[in-house]
Amino acid sequence: MKGKYLIGAFLMALIGAAVALFAYTSIVEKPAAVIVHDSARAEMPDPQAFLTSFQMQEGQVDFAFAAEQTVHAVVHVRTKSVVQQPDNPVLEWYFGDRYNNRPREALGFGSGVIISADGYIITNNHVIEDADNIVVKLNDNRLFDAELVGRDPNTDIALLKIQANDLAYLKYGDSEKLKIGQWVLAVGNPFNLTSTVTAGIVSAKGRSLDLLNTDYKIESFIQTDAALNMGNSGGALVDTKGLLVGITSAIYSPSGAYSGNSFAIPVSIVKKVVDDLRQFGEVQRAIIGVNILDVTPEDAKKLNLKDVSGARITRVIEGGSADDANLKEDDIIVEFNGVPVSSVAELQEQIGKQRPGDKASVTFFRDGKENTVPLTMKNVSGTTAMVKPGMGAGVVFGARLESLGQTDRRLYNVENGVKITELNDGVFKDMGLKKGTVITAINGKNVNNSEEVKQAVNNSEKSLKSIEGVTSDGRSFTYRFGY
């Protein structure tokens, strides 16, 4: 009896081994068939989601490729400027003649992106602002003096040129096709070492942070969680193909160090500004002639809107493009050239791609009805002509004027004013005013931006009767004419 049991156990083991061997062979030789069959019977992830996950594990979505395409096209930017210190009675009392209010050398640094083999480089305006000398260090440690081709405070973009050839450079991508959650890489050279790469996802688009203190500012940032630090400004934001989709510009942090929120200027704006600077030497700013605000829940309820979305017109400028197209106060703009816009920032981004004389269309809600009208873009002077160098947005009588931020107000001890950031031929230069001078009043009227300066003199040099302000070294002045 015992022998029969042994024979039965042996036969059962033999049959089990055969079944196991068959199953193992089937799995090894036909894994796809097993996955397909199992997916029909068991609870599996969505097929497309499973495929994407499998590809990433196999290295099909590879940051190394994008990084390799980018690092050699990102540079370190060093700046040097001479600044005149404002009068400081305390330091003069302590140090006497040794203080002497002497000019001091200020150093700055940031990053930049090469966009052509012959040495055109994009960086931020705030990186090179007020610089007397700009030096670029490539990723291979070569140094070049850089020429400032042009800059645009309204978008925080500047264009440099170095004398070099056969450089690695980045091609433009399409920032408008970026999706929330998409992987991006931030590449900068913040510490004068070599290019540094960090990765993150697109957290949001169309962010407005109110960072720029200019009259015609355009803020529509791409927000990411890629790690940025001081000195990353002007670096590249690229997609996983290594294409440029943005220029990194700011971090949002209470300490000044990375804390999870980084912001980049979309390449849709960057490309337009760079093309203008290369072709015209001045950004061709197009406007539609309105004041606008984001739609609020109160607006939506009052105007019977379905969604709390769009840009509400609060004022229509007489003679502007919107006025010509018969747009009115409280119209809600929801599309520009067929592109949906849910906020002021998104509308500014679309307008920022236009030049004076371009044709466009605006879709808006009025009295609960949707309407679309054509319009012709105009420049800041109210014409469709291209502006000449030194005559663009914020330029009055040859001087580029920028509104004062809180730092400048404290530094110059003023409550209002505009600062001369560029000075070309014109009445201000003839008067002996210098770059860095703050103008607080024109013809007895306080001014806060370039438009108020124009209004104070009726846009005519002949109407200029008096100027009040503060020099770059902190001395107050008043000039009067024709009395």
Residues in a beta bridge with 184: 200
Q: Which of 390, 356, 189, 440 is nearest to 277 (CA)?
A: 390
pLDDT given at position 57: 44
- The distance from CA 164 to its chain's CA centroid, rounded to whole angstroms, is 27
Q: What is the pLDDT of residues 101-145, one digit of tens each?
A: 566 778 888 999 999 999 999 999 999 987 889 999 999 999 999
Which pLDDT belongs to residue 34? 28
- CATH superfamily, domain 290-376, is PDZ domain (2.30.42.10)
pLDDT of 196: 85
Buried b (16+ CB within 10 A) or exposed e, 160-194: bbbeeeebebbeebebeebeeeebbbbbbbbeeee
Comparing 60-283 with 395-480, is the CATH topology the same? no
Distance, CA of 428 to CA of 438 (rounded, Å): 12
Instruction: Indicate which residues carry an active-site annotation.
Output: 126, 156, 233
| Domain parsing of the chain, residue ranges | 2-44, 60-283, 290-376, 395-480
Can you tell me the distance from the alpha carbon of 345 to that of 200, in angstroms, rounded to the nearest whole number? 23
**CATH, range 395-480:** 2.30.42.10
Q: How deeply is 59 buried, as exposed, middle or buried, from its count of CB atoms within 10 A (0-12, 13-18, 19+)?
A: exposed
Q: What is the pLDDT along the chain (483 residues), one digit of tens a residue?
A: 445 444 555 555 555 555 444 444 443 333 322 223 223 333 333 333 333 333 344 445 578 888 888 999 999 999 998 766 555 555 555 555 555 556 677 888 899 999 999 999 999 999 998 788 999 999 999 999 999 999 998 899 999 999 999 999 999 999 999 999 999 999 988 777 778 898 999 999 988 877 776 767 788 899 999 887 777 889 999 999 999 999 998 876 665 556 668 899 999 999 999 999 999 888 998 999 999 999 999 999 888 888 899 999 999 988 999 999 999 999 999 999 999 999 999 999 999 999 999 999 999 999 889 999 999 999 887 888 887 776 666 778 888 888 887 777 888 889 888 888 888 778 888 888 888 899 999 998 999 888 788 888 887 777 888 899 998 878 888 888 765
Query: What one-character DSSP code corresponds to residue 483?
Result: -
For the four alpha carbons of 388, 389, 390 and 395, in that order, the dihedral sign comes to: positive
Task: Return contacts of 414-419, CB within 8 angstroms, 24+ apart.
Answer: 414/438, 414/440, 414/470, 416/440, 416/446, 416/447, 416/448, 417/447, 417/448, 417/469, 417/470, 418/447, 418/448, 418/449, 418/450, 418/452, 418/453
DSSP three-state, residue 380: coil
Burial of 63 by CB count in 10 Å (0-12 exposed, 13-18 middle, 19+ buried)?
middle
CATH 2.60.40.10 at 60-283, yes or no: no
Q: What is the pLDDT of residue 91?
A: 55
